[in-house]
Amino acid sequence: MVNVTYDASGSLVWVDPTDSDPTTNTWVYNPGDIAWVLASTALVWIMIPGVGFFYSGLLRRKNALSMIYLSMMTLAVVSFQWFFWGFSLAFSETGSRFIGDLKYFGLKGVLEEPSIGSIRIPSIVFCIYQLMFAAITPMLAIGGFAERAHLGPLLFFVFAWSTLVYDPIACWTWNSNGWSFVLGGLDFAGGTPVHISSGTAALAISIYLGKRRGYGTEALAYKPHNTTYVILGTIFLWFGWFGFNGGSALAANLRAAQACIVTNLAASVGGLTWMLWDYRIEKKWSAVGFCSGAIAGLVAITPGSGYVGSPAAVLFGFMAGTVCNFATQLKFFAGYDDSLDVFASHAIGGVVGNILTALFAQASVAGFDGFTKIDGGWLDHHWIQLAWHLADSAAGLSYSFVMTTIILWVMHYIPGLRLRVPEETEIVGIDASDMGEFAYDYVELKAELPSSYGNQGLGGNREPEHYMMKERESAE
């Protein structure tokens, strides 16, 4: 039987059988806190297909389905990895400063005991909530593979990347033994583990894969094929981010509410800022620009959402919308092909958020939950906080880039795991080549085929348009 009882108020009571002291061996879990964290789990879950729709809408039609598919595939792979050893590597209390051990291998012992994240919720609730963070992070990085990678090897990549990159960074950031946590780093909901790690991984992926066919020419000067998908993905992300940041309070309290307030505010200001920067160039009110800025604002506020006040959130949104907008030009100067600007939005946005958190974190805001005590940031005259955040950001950037590159090159030399598709596959599209399915009934790519290409790689003597068409079968 589970060692849990209920008190007169309906709260769950767990008694530690290894502790004989009645003043320290009793732990009480409020059902409202558990309900809020479980609801936040569902909110973060919807963000994962949200990333898929957002990425899909920004691409060409011939690659639209693959990104939505990859969002669900990533969730499935990481769910198994988290059960297998991911949760233990990130959050076992007996781990090192850099990575956990296998104390919770196969989720052994993960049930009613107090969680490492908060003594106000049991370990099993914290585990499922943190799974959603572990799942969305590699999906963000997968944007670097867009339009030029085989889908099969990505199953292996996601498992390996989650184990070797995400879990160690999550450990050093959130585990009570982690070096950044012990040092005093403030990362409320994942500036470094989620955004810096995934954005930098996308940069490493883009460099490894090389440029897409037609890079630098009119062939890649296309507009997003489905702006509605972009908006829909942004809606899912914005909606889910209330659980992403608000849920990171790990309790239903004023700090969670404050995190929701600053999250919404930073997203709003970020969207308006990016849209206005784009308007100065084309004199058009861009929906894609607004959505890009909103996500940049959400990224930046993530590490500081439980530490900063509402006025600071305005600055978070403005700086993210500005810096990330201009950071999209880095790829033209550096010569890499980050097709979805994952590095500019997430890695750069994460660094912006970390720096601003060091400057504007307040002990009073962190104390909204009634028990958290921090020294604060520069607003509280705690000057060393910036150095700690710069160190954490630099560590996340360098570690993710190096480890991702190593994983990619190891896969490169393993038969069946090479990721880069040949030019013929890139022309036809990942949906047709690797899935045999399409996002829509009809996908026309004939205009993208060079006149000299003929029917090469399209299978026998079939006409290109026949190969690229998928007709809906009649119900009769």
Tokens of 347: 């890695």
- pLDDT band at residue 219 using 50, 70 and 90 as cut-offs: confident
The shares of helix, strand and coil residues in the chain, as percent rounded to the nearest 5, are: 65, 5, 35
Q: For 339-383, how does the pLDDT look when each residue is reduced to its tens digit (9 = 90+)?
A: 999 999 999 999 999 999 999 999 999 999 999 999 999 999 999
User: Which secondary-structure segment (H or E) carries 28?
Assistant: strand 26-29
Give the span between the Cα atoms of 279 and 90, in whole angstroms: 43
pLDDT given at position 460: 39
Tell me the pLDDT of the chain averaged across its residues. 91
Q: What is the side-by-side strand order in the sheet with 26-29?
A: 4-6, 12-15, 26-29
- pLDDT band at residue 451 using 50, 70 and 90 as cut-offs: low
pLDDT given at position 466: 41
**For tokens 């989620």, what's the residue?**
194
- pLDDT band at residue 218 using 50, 70 and 90 as cut-offs: confident
Radius of gyration of the chain (CA): 23
Q: For 390-424, how does the pLDDT look when each residue is reduced to its tens digit (9 = 90+)?
A: 999 999 999 999 999 999 999 999 999 999 999 99
pLDDT at 324 over 70: yes
pLDDT given at position 468: 41
pLDDT given at position 459: 41
Q: pTM for the complete prediction?
A: 0.91
Q: For 422-433, how does the pLDDT look when each residue is reduced to its tens digit (9 = 90+)?
A: 999 999 999 999
User: Is the pLDDT higher at 215 or at 250?
Assistant: 250
First to last CA, the chain: 55
Q: For 263-292, how does the pLDDT look when each residue is reduced to its tens digit (9 = 90+)?
A: 999 999 999 999 999 998 889 999 999 999
User: Which secondary-structure segment (H or E) carries 270?
Assistant: helix 254-282
Distance of CA 141 to the CA centre of its chain: 7
Q: Is 432 helix (H, G, I), strand (E, B) or coil?
A: helix
- DSSP secondary structure letters along 314-342: HHHHHHHHHHHHHHTTHHHHHT---TT-H
Give the span between the Cα atoms of 246 and 452, in whole angstroms: 55
The contacts of residue 128 (CB under 8 Å, 6+ apart) are 38, 41
Tokens of 238: 């914005």
pLDDT at 471 over 70: no
The arithmetic mean of pLDDT across residues 121-132, rounded, is 97
Give the span between the Cα atoms of 341 and 432, in whole angstroms: 24
Q: Residue 42, exposed/middle/buried by CB under 10 A (0-12, 13-18, 19+)?
A: middle
pLDDT given at position 281: 87
Q: For 167-177, how does the pLDDT look when each residue is reduced to its tens digit (9 = 90+)?
A: 999 999 999 99
Give the span between the Cα atoms of 385 and 355, in whole angstroms: 9
pLDDT given at position 282: 84
CB atoms within 10 A of CB 409: 10
The arithmetic mean of pLDDT across residues 98-109, rounded, is 96
The arithmetic mean of pLDDT across residues 54-81, rounded, is 96
pLDDT given at position 217: 80
pLDDT at 327 over 60: yes
Q: Report phi then psi at 100, rounded to 5.
A: -80, 180
Full set of structural domains in the chain with CATH: 26-412 (1.10.3430.10)
- pLDDT band at residue 456 using 50, 70 and 90 as cut-offs: very low
pLDDT at 452 over 70: no
- pLDDT band at residue 450 using 50, 70 and 90 as cut-offs: low
